[in-house]
Amino acid sequence: MHEGRLHPISVAIREIADIFGRMGFSVVQGPELETEHYNFDALNIPADHPSRDMWDTFWVKTKEGEERKLMRTHTSPMQIRWLEKHGAPTRIIVPGKVFRNEATDMTHEAQFYQLEGLAVDTNITLGHLKGILERFCKEYFGSEAKVRLRPSFFPFTEPSVEVDVWFSAQNKWLEVMGAGMVHPKVLENAGIDATKYQGFAFGLGIERFVMIKYGIPDIRLFHSGDIRFVYGFDEKKI
């Protein structure tokens, strides 16, 4: 009889949480069944905003007069929930499962794990974001990893960036996550004075990070239920 083994996603969450924990981030959880307000509206994504087209969404049937609900498309709603309850300053990461109506293939799944990061204080800058992410990537991928930021767009951050990591063994840059400075409207929607506080946020796909680190070719393996996948890793590696 084989001894039990943690799933690679569980191992990755623990490893990532340990790295960010040493940088002062707390780990918090949020609901998978979310309201339209927290998943979209409070994050500066109103019903008529074209960015909603980026998420084909699993809506849940609700009673007449009840606020619309859905399976969350990202872990970002916890930005609002946490700030409403605890205020600023704060520094958290939010790991959890998210759901999107994706066409399943080697790099896409209808459900996957995401990790949100949020830091809000009176003197947060984009430089702090780059420094935190570079420290994290060096610890997770290895000391030779380098980070660069490229301009992008997300409705809940301004400015927004794509984050690339340099892998010397492959001699190339690889996009690994999205990030940016928290949009003032998002802070205001959470009851935070945007003239006093600033912050950064980032979101990464946990399966993607494990795939990059260990050379896993197909994201569908994570949710296949095949026990051979769990036992297929070298214990010394994870």
pLDDT tens track for 207-220:
999 999 999 999 99
How many Å from the N-terminal Cα to the C-terminal Cα in the chain? 21
| 174 domain-assigned | yes
Output b/e per residue, 72-86; b: 16+ Cβ within 10 A.
bbbbbbbbbbbbeee
The full length of the chain comes to: 238
Q: Which residues contact 190 (CB under 8 A, 6 or more apart)?
A: 42, 79, 80, 83, 84
Q: Is the pLDDT of residue 27 over 80?
A: yes
CATH number for the domain that contains residue 105: 3.30.930.10
Q: Is the pLDDT of residue 238 over 60?
A: no
Render pLDDT for 126-152 as a digit per residue (tens, 0 to 9): 999 999 999 999 999 999 999 999 999
Instruction: Tell me what pLDDT residue 236 has.
Output: 40
The overall average pLDDT reported for the chain is: 92
Q: DSSP string covering 18-57, please?
A: HHHHTTTPEE----SEEEHHHHTGGGT--TT-GGGGG---
| 238 domain-assigned | no
Quote the domain boundaries for residue 156.
8-230
| 37 domain-assigned | yes
Instruction: Tell me what pLDDT residue 51 has.
Output: 65
| 151 domain-assigned | yes
List the alpha helices (DSSP H) in the chain: 8-21, 36-39, 77-86, 126-141, 184-189, 206-214, 227-230
Distance of CA 56 to the CA centre of its chain: 18
Render pLDDT for 34-89 as a digit per residue (tens, 0 to 9): 999 999 999 999 888 776 776 678 999 999 999 999 999 999 999 999 999 999 99
| 58 domain-assigned | yes
Q: Which two tokens stand for residue 180?
A: 């940016």
| 3 domain-assigned | no
Is pTM beyond 0.85 here?
yes
Total domains in the chain come to 1
Q: d(Cα 159, Cα 180) in Å, to the nearest integer?
A: 6
